[in-house]
């Protein structure tokens, strides 16, 4: 039986902050949604909501993994390259063997991602290389491997089997498969972080590494684990990406890593470790997806979109940090 | 401590001065080596151009290598070209990611004795000897508007353009022509509502196409004058279940577009044969490198199986060579091609 | 703050001890690092001149050196920032915004030099914003500069859209394309050289520089000893913004034109160069000499690989490996030397399993790609 942590004033406060932040983000999303709907009624259609969900499915999966890494006071900048590499490798397999089971393709992708993540984890936890450096290097290495692997060729839509494309977009259960996969993934991560020993150990390692070590938590293993999970999530995301966009290019997912950090941070994950919740991250991803969806609807010129996105992210993270700072009494 | 720093700096300086005073590499004798530089690697359009270039290489007895940046990015292209200049290649055929940014490096190459031509997407006039143009700018722009009107029907409607990168010289030139065409009375019923950029990136193009349907619910046609953009848009139309309501046209490659011609998302689109473009480019480079032509308007030369060409000069493109006419693909002929 | 002894206090006292430890330990470590870089440079030069006759060519080296100067200019203040334990992810976007601003003004008819000065001012302002958010509002630099990374790039697009600023006068493009007369040394290299010496002197020879190290080692102790930490942070971020703008001018001059995506992605290269130069990412240690040497190393490596027709992204594999190994190998060496620790059986099995999995991955990698590419 796993015991709940005895409520010290600190953990109470952290839980309160977390709930407060989530309420704050939810309110922000609601207000934004209302404003957009007033300006563009097309926003409030079921189809549009489905589009938003589709667009944030992949982001949610990777942002959750990034959140776990951030909670341990680390960072994984290499996720985008892992996605690109797995997407390319799985696309190659699907092109060559169109009959290859789609489920097997997903497992293959996750396995490949696991290897890449394990490499990261080893270098960081056992090789004691600071996470930002290790994953910065990995970002370049894995991206280069995409080119090395494919020789620069792309896999195009007409070279992929229909079954593979349906993996993400098919709707046998009402919602697109990809959305369902993302929801399942989020549920698993939620359960893992809140109801298992290892999950809570992740928080412990992030908020107070020395104390965690003294309490008997195998810090090195936990750190290795979060990067391994990040790799697995990226692998899954890679397969979904290739399936959704029906292609694999040399710069698939280039630059995506910063979006995952943004989604996590906007969702209340602290970059100094120890804090962050699954609902928070999902809300963060939702906010980012909302902004991306809403701006064209509200007829903002494409050239303003990037600035608006950046400004909103800035406001969100600044507000977030301020709230946490004041709540923690610093 | 002070001394050590100094020692270090001296040592580095010595090494570097040794390096800089070293002997320069000599141009290797032997067969000519030309390089075909696409906007970016992986794009089937340029792969086909390379096939044509290799065919010409075999006929001429020269070597053609195919090197390009991984993304349609001018900075990467410039670095690559700098490296090729350093290797003293015999000639460069470049499809420019940015007309202006490539001028300094083009000038550098010419100054170093390497003939530079641009193909498909032109470098600014001072940065290349001449440009190899696939079809008249006017023709390419006009045919896309014409196809759009045919798709909307006589009632016309809203159209949007989904282009490549915002810096791409060829797309920008065609868009300018299209905007002029739209002023003509026969196109009065067509309304251009937006121009968006997919950066020749599949994911971005797909997302931009999606945004277009949402922003303009009564959009009739998307014109995508780029093979990456048209394929992504057609796919977006298919995925959104909008076949028959929104049509996609523009410039595409047969293999990529076959599915969409048949399912109705993109009943017609145009292109020329990029293989021929690559083939012609190498013949031109060879003629320049061997001194057969100097790259001046009026000169004539023969390009293998394509026949004889005359160099011309006009206001937009400066000195250029014209390949031919655009060709319209539709359900009747799409199965005849395999590239 | 709770009354329980938090580990914060323990680690603070530890770092306090470190800060007051004899400077010799830092220097000893970093002189080793610099020599390693010099050694690597020698190896790279030797290897590449053997592999390509075009490497040791003065013209070629001159031409390629200008490719790295914008990175170098932004690296100089980045060293300051990383030494204090911070980071600035927004430098490349700032570069883009300022270059676009200058271009926009120029196309509107403003004199190029006035536009350039305005761009420098904007850069400084942008840096000032970063610094204020970090220092006065005490927000984490990673998060703040992540936001401005997106925002500043967006502003660049708002300013120029799909237009290009072009036709800069030759007097201006000289900054990016010209050479010091008579020599093969590009102006931008000379500019960088002068500034590198300046920044190096500030870092190692002034009180300001010592404060940077102090802040990086132990910010709390620095505050208590009267170091104007907040003001210093604002200053270094402002300088970073200014230098990003300067790099933007050089890059725009080199291209002879400006588009809003100018300099995209450079921030990661800048950080890589600084870290490879021995600047500790956690703050408190590093030398300017090391950073400059690492810039040379990266430049020569990329140039050499380019000559061997190794594609740009694949070059990244080498740079990334270099970055990781530069930290990993000394760590491994330190673990296995000295105490002669024996490996636990568990660890050995773990390593074996890992190697097997890795081998399987590599095998799959090459097999699956060959099968398709041969087609």
B123: enclosing H helix or E strand: none
What chain A residue is nearest to B198 in terms of C-alpha separation? Answer: A302
Domain residue ranges in chain C? 44-308, 325-375
Asked whether A120 and A276 are in contact (CB, 8 A), the reply is no
Shortest CA gap C307–chain B (Å): 6
Q: How many cross-chain Cβ pairs, A to B, lie less than 8 Å apart?
A: 64
Q: Are residues B252 and B219 in the same domain?
A: yes
pLDDT at B81 over 90: yes
Examine the domain organization and report whether B146 and B129 are in the same domain.
no
First to last CA, chain C: 66
CB contact under 8 A, B203 and A147: no
Give DSSP secondary structure letters for C45-105: HHHHHHH-TTTT-HHHHHHHHGGGHHHHHHHHHHHHHHHTT---TTHHHHHHHHHHHHHHH
State pLDDT tens for residues A231-272. 999 999 999 999 998 889 988 998 899 889 989 988 888 888
Q: Cα–Cα distance between B115 and B286 in angstroms, integer?
A: 9
State the DSSP code for C352.
Answer: H
**Mutation site, C93, C317, C366, interface A, largest A CB count within 10 A:** C317
Continuous H helices in A40-78 = 46-71
Query: Is the Cβ–Cβ distance between C63 and B82 less than 8 Å?
Result: yes
CA torsion sign for A223, A224, A230, A232 is negative
Residue A324 has a pLDDT of 66
Where do we find the tokens 């334990």? C85
Give the distance from residue A136's alpha carbon to the nearest chain C alpha carbon, in angstroms. Answer: 7
pLDDT tens readout for residues B200-233: 888 889 988 988 988 888 999 999 999 999 999 9
At B67 the pLDDT is 93
Whether C60 and B86 lie within 8 Å, measured CB to CB? yes
pTM for this prediction:
0.86
Res C143: pLDDT? 86
Is residue A169 within 8 A of residue A177, CB to CB? The reply is: yes
In chain A, the residue whose alpha carbon lies closest to the alpha carbon of B211 is A296
Tell me the C-alpha distance between B235 and A160, whole Å. 13
Q: Which residues of C touch A150 (CB under 8 A)?
A: 369
State whether B292 and B255 are in the same domain. Answer: no
Instruction: Count structural domains, chain B.
Output: 2
A97 in C contact zone (CB under 8 Å): no
B104 plus B202 within the same structural domain: no
What percent helix, strand, coil does chain B show, rounded to 5?
Answer: 45, 20, 35
d(CA C118, CA C114) in angstroms, rounded, equals: 6
- Residues B167 and B220 both lie in one domain: yes
Cβ atoms of residues B252 and B227 within 8 Å: yes
Q: How far apart are the first and last CA of chain B?
A: 66
Q: What is the pLDDT of residue C28?
A: 56
Closest CA to A305 of C146, C154, C265: C154
Supply the pLDDT for residue B52: 94
**From A292, which residue of chain B is nearest by alpha-carbon distance?**
B211
List the domain range (segments joined by +) for residue B244. 137-271
The burial class, CB within 10 Å (0-12 / 13-18 / 19+), for B168 is buried
Dist. CA A119–CA A82, nearest whole Å: 11
Cβ separation C256–B100 shorter than 8 A: yes
Nearest-angstrom CA–CA distance, C218 and C344: 36
**All partners of chain A with 3 or more CB pairs under 8 angstroms:** B, C
With residue B260 as reference, give the H or E element that holds it: helix B254-263
My answer on whether B188 and B256 are in the same domain is: yes
Chain B residues near residue A42 by CB distance under 8 angstroms:
214-215, 217
Handedness of CA A312, A315, A317, A323 (dihedral sign): negative
Query: What does chain C come to in residues?
Result: 375
Task: Tell me which chain C residue has its CA closest to the CA of residue A214.
Answer: C7
CB atoms within 10 A of CB C28: 10
In a domain, B249, yes or no: yes
Instruction: List chains touching C (3+ CB pairs under 8 A).
Output: A, B
* B254 found inside a domain: yes
Q: What is the DSSP letter of A125?
A: I
Residues 209-268 of A with CB under 8 A from C: 209-211, 250, 255, 258, 261-262, 265
A140 contacts in C (CB within 8 Å)? 268, 272, 316-317, 319-320, 323
Q: Residue B160 pLDDT more than 90?
A: yes
- B118: domain CATH number is 3.40.50.2300
C177-198 burial, b if ≥16 CB within 10 A, otherwise e? bbbeeeeebbbbbebbeebbee
> Looking at chain B, which subunits does it touch, using at least 3 CB pairs closer than 8 Å as the criterion?
A, C
For residue B25, the model assigns a pLDDT of 46
pLDDT score recorded for residue C374: 52
d(CA C199, CA C277): 15
List the pLDDT tens digit at each of the 375 positions of chain C.
Answer: 444 444 454 454 444 444 444 444 445 555 688 888 999 999 999 999 899 888 888 888 888 888 899 999 999 999 999 999 999 999 999 999 999 999 999 999 999 999 999 999 999 999 999 999 999 888 889 889 988 998 999 999 999 987 888 889 988 998 888 888 878 889 999 999 999 999 999 999 999 999 999 999 999 999 999 999 999 999 999 999 999 999 999 999 998 889 898 988 899 899 999 999 999 998 899 999 999 999 999 999 999 999 998 988 899 999 999 999 988 988 888 877 765 566 677 778 888 888 999 999 999 998 888 776 654
| Closest chain C residue to the Cα of A258, Cα to Cα | C146
Q: Please identify among residues 36-75 of chain C the ones whose CB lies closer than 8 Å to any CB of chain B.
A: 38, 41-42, 45, 49, 52-64, 67
What is the least distance, in Å, from the CA of B125 to any CA of chain C?
A: 12
Subunit contact B256:A297, Cβ cutoff 8 A: no
Residues B105 and B154 in one domain: no
Kindly state whether residues B161 and B184 are assigned to the same domain: yes
Q: Which token pair is B16? A: 């570097």
Residues 6+ apart with CB under 8 A from A28: A287, A316
C-beta atoms of C312 and B69 within 8 A:
yes
**Residue position matching structure tokens 């490539």:** B102
Q: Which residue carries 């942008």 as its tokens?
A: C126
Task: Provide the pLDDT for residue C139.
Answer: 86
The C-alpha atoms of residue C231 and residue B181 are separated, in whole angstroms, by: 59
User: End-to-end distance of chain A based on CA atoms, in angstroms?
Assistant: 36
Give helix A102-121 / helix A79-96 axis angle, nearest 10°.
150
- From the list B232, B229, B125, the residue with the least C-alpha distance to B169 is B125
- Cβ of B210 within 8 Å of Cβ of A51? The answer is yes
What local confidence, expressed as pLDDT, does residue A310 receive? Answer: 80
* Dihedral angle sign, alpha carbons of residues A174, A175, A176, A182: negative
pLDDT value at position C137?
83
> Is A26 in a helix, a strand, or coil?
helix
Shared domain check, B256 and B215: yes
Interface test with A, best of C94, C148, C324 (most A CBs within 10 A): C324
C-alpha B167/C-alpha B199 separation (Å) is 9
- Select from A315, A325, A232, A294 the least CA-distant residue to A25: A315
Cα–Cα distance between B85 and B95 in angstroms, integer?
Answer: 16
Is a pLDDT exceeding 60 seen at residue B15? Answer: no
Same domain, B174 and B224: yes
Question: Do A308 and C154 count as a contact with CB atoms less than 8 A apart?
Answer: yes
pLDDT on residue A297: 74
* pLDDT value of residue C30: 52
Does some domain include residue B284? yes
How is B141-171 classified by DSSP, letter by letter?
HHHHHHHHHHHH-TT-EEEEEEES-TT-HHH
Topology of the domain comprising C44-308: ABC transporter involved in vitamin B12 uptake, BtuC (1.10.3470)
Å from C324 to nearest chain A CA? Answer: 6
Residue B26 in any domain: the answer is no
CB-CB under 8 Å, B203 with A153: no
In angstroms, the separation between the Cα of residue B23 and the nearest Cα of chain C is: 6
Q: Which residue has the tokens 């509002």?
A: C137
The answer to whether residues B159 and B103 belong to one domain is no
SS3 content of chain C, % helix, strand, coil (to 5): 75, 0, 20
Burial class (CB in 10 A: 0-12, 13-18, 19+), A306: buried
Give phi and psi for B51, each to the nearest 5.
-60, -45
pLDDT in 10s for each residue of chain A, 330 residues: 444 545 455 566 666 766 777 777 888 888 888 888 888 877 888 888 888 898 899 999 999 999 999 999 999 999 999 999 999 999 999 998 888 899 999 999 999 999 999 999 999 998 999 999 999 999 999 999 999 999 888 888 888 998 998 898 888 888 899 999 999 999 999 999 999 999 999 999 998 888 888 888 888 999 999 999 999 999 999 999 999 988 899 889 988 998 899 899 888 888 888 888 999 999 999 988 888 888 777 777 777 877 877 887 788 777 777 776 665 554
Mean pLDDT to the nearest integer, B249-262: 92
Please count the residue pairs, one from chain B and one from chain C, whose beta carbons lie less than 8 angstroms apart. 130
Distance from CA of A273 to the nearest CA of B (A): 33
What ranges in chain A are assigned the alpha helix state H?
9-39, 46-71, 79-96, 102-121, 131-150, 162-169, 177-195, 197-207, 209-214, 219-245, 256-266, 278-297, 302-327
- The pLDDT value recorded for residue C16 is 47
Chain C residues with beta carbon closer than 8 angstroms to that of B162: none
Contact C142 A305 (CB under 8 A): no
Residues in chain A: 330
Say if B7 falls within a structural domain: no
Q: In whole angstroms, what is the distance from residue A221 CA to residue A121 CA?
A: 9
Are B212 and B288 members of one domain?
A: no
């Amino acid at each position: 039986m796993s015991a709940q942590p005895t409520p010290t004033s600190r953990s109470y406060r952290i839980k309160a902050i977390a709930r407060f932040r989530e309420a704050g983000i939810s309110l922000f999303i609601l207000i934004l949604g209302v404003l957009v709907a007033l300006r563009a009624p097309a926003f409030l259609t079921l189809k549009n909501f489905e589009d938003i969900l589709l667009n944030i499915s992949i982001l949610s999966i990777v942002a959750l993994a990034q959140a776990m890494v951030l909670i341990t006071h680390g960072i994984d900048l290499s996720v985008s390259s892992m996605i690109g590499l797995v997407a390319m490798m799985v696309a190659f397999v699907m092109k060559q063997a169109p009959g290859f089971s789609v489920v097997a393709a997903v497992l293959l992708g996750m396995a490949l991602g696991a290897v890449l993540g394990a490499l990261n984890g080893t270098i960081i936890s056992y090789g004691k290389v600071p996470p930002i450096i290790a994953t910065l290097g990995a970002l370049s290495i894995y991206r280069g491997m995409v080119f090395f692997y494919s020789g620069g060729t792309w896999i195009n839509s007409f070279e992929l089997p229909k079954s593979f494309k349906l993996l993400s977009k098919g709707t046998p259960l009402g919602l697109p498969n990809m959305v369902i996969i993302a929801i399942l993934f989020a549920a698993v991560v939620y359960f893992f972080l809140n109801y298992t020993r290892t999950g809570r150990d992740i928080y412990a390692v992030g908020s107070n590494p020395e104390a965690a070590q003294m309490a008997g938590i195998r810090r090195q293993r936990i750190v290795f684990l979060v990067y391994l999970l990040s790799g697995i999530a990226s692998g899954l995301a890679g397969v979904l990406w290739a399936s959704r966009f029906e292609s694999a290019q040399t710069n698939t997912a280039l630059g995506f890593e910063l979006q995952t950090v943004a989604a996590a941070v906007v969702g209340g994950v602290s970059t100094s470790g120890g804090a962050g919740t699954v609902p928070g991250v999902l809300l963060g991803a939702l906010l980012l997806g909302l902004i991306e969806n809403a701006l064209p609807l509200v007829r903002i010129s494409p050239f303003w979109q990037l600035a608006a996105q950046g400004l909103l992210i800035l406001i969100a993270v600044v507000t977030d940090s301020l709230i946490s700072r004041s709540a923690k009494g610093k | 401590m002070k001394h050590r720093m100094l020692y270090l700096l001296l040592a580095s300086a010595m090494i570097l001065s040794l390096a800089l005073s070293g002997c320069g590499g000599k141009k290797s004798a032997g067969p000519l080596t030309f390089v075909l530089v696409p906007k970016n690697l992986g794009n089937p359009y340029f792969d086909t151009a390379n096939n044509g270039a290799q065919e010409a290489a075999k006929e001429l007895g020269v070597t053609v290598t195919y090197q390009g940046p991984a993304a349609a990015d001018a900075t990467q292209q410039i670095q690559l070209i700098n490296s090729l200049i350093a290797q003293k290649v015999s000639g460069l055929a470049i499809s420019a990611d940015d007309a202006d940014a490539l001028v300094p490096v083009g000038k550098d190459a010419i100054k170093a004795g390497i003939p530079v031509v641009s193909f498909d997407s032109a470098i600014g006039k001072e940065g290349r000897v001449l440009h190899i143009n696939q079809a008249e700018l006017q023709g390419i722009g006009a045919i896309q508007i014409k196809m759009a009107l045919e798709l909307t029907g006589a009632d016309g409607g809203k159209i949007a353009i989904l282009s490549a990168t915002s810096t791409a010289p060829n797309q920008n030139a065609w868009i300018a022509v299209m905007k002029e065409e739209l002023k003509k009375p026969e196109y009065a019923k067509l309304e251009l509502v937006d121009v968006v950029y997919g950066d020749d990136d599949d994911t971005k193009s797909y997302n931009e196409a999606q945004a277009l349907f949402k922003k303009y619910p009564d959009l009739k046609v998307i014109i995508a004058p780029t093979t990456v953009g048209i394929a992504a848009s057609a796919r977006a139309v298919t995925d959104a279940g909008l076949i028959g309501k929104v049509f996609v046209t523009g410039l595409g490659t047969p293999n990529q577009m076959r599915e969409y011609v048949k399912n109705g998302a993109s009943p017609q689109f145009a292109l020329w044969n990029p293989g021929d473009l690559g083939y012609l480019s190498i013949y031109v480079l060879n003629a320049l490198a061997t001194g057969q032509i100097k790259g001046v308007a009026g000169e004539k030369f023969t390009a293998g199986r394509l026949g004889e060409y005359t160099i011309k000069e006009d206001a937009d493109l400066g000195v250029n060579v014209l390949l031919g006419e655009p060709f319209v693909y539709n359900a009747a002929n799409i199965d005849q091609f395999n590239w | 703050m709770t009354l329980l002894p938090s580990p914060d206090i323990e680690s603070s006292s530890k770092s306090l001890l470190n800060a007051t430890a004899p400077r010799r330990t830092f220097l000893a470590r970093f002189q080793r690092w610099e020599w390693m870089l010099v050694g690597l440079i020698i190896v790279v030069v030797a290897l590449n001149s053997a592999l390509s006759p075009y490497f040791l060519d003065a013209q070629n080296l001159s031409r390629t050196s200008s490719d790295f100067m914008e990175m170098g200019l932004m690296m100089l203040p980045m060293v300051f920032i990383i030494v204090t334990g911070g980071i600035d992810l927004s430098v490349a976007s700032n570069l883009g915004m300022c270059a676009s601003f200058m271009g926009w003004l120029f196309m509107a008819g403003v004199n190029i030099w006035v536009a350039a000065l305005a761009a420098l001012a904007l850069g400084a302002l942008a840096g000032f914003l970063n610094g204020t958010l970090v220092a006065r509002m005490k927000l984490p630099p990673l998060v703040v500069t992540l936001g401005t990374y997106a925002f500043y790039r967006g502003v660049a697009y708002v300013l120029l859209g799909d237009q290009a600023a072009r036709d800069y006068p030759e007097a201006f493009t000289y900054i990016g394309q010209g050479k010091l007369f008579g020599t093969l040394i590009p102006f931008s290299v000379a500019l960088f050289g002068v500034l590198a010496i300046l920044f190096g002197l500030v870092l190692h020879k002034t009180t300001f520089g010592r404060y940077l190290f102090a802040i990086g080692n132990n910010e709390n102790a620095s505050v208590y000893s009267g170091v104007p930490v907040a003001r210093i942070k604002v200053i270094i971020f402002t300088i970073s913004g200014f230098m990003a703008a300067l790099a933007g001018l050089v890059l725009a001059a080199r291209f002879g034109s400006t588009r809003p995506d100018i300099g995209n992605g450079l921030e990661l290269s800048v950080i890589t160069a600084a870290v490879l130069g021995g600047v500790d990412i956690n703050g408190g240690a590093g030398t300017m000499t090391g950073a400059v040497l690492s810039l040379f190393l990266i430049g020569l490596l990329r140039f050499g690989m380019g000559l061997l027709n190794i594609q740009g992204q694949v070059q990244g594999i080498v740079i990334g490996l270099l970055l990781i190994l530069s930290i990993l190998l000394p760590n491994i060496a330190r673990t296995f030397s000295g105490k002669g620790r024996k490996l636990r059986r568990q660890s050995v099995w773990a390593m074996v399993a890992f190697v097997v999995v890795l081998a399987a991955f590599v095998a799959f990698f090459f097999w699956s790609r060959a099968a398709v590419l041969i087609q």
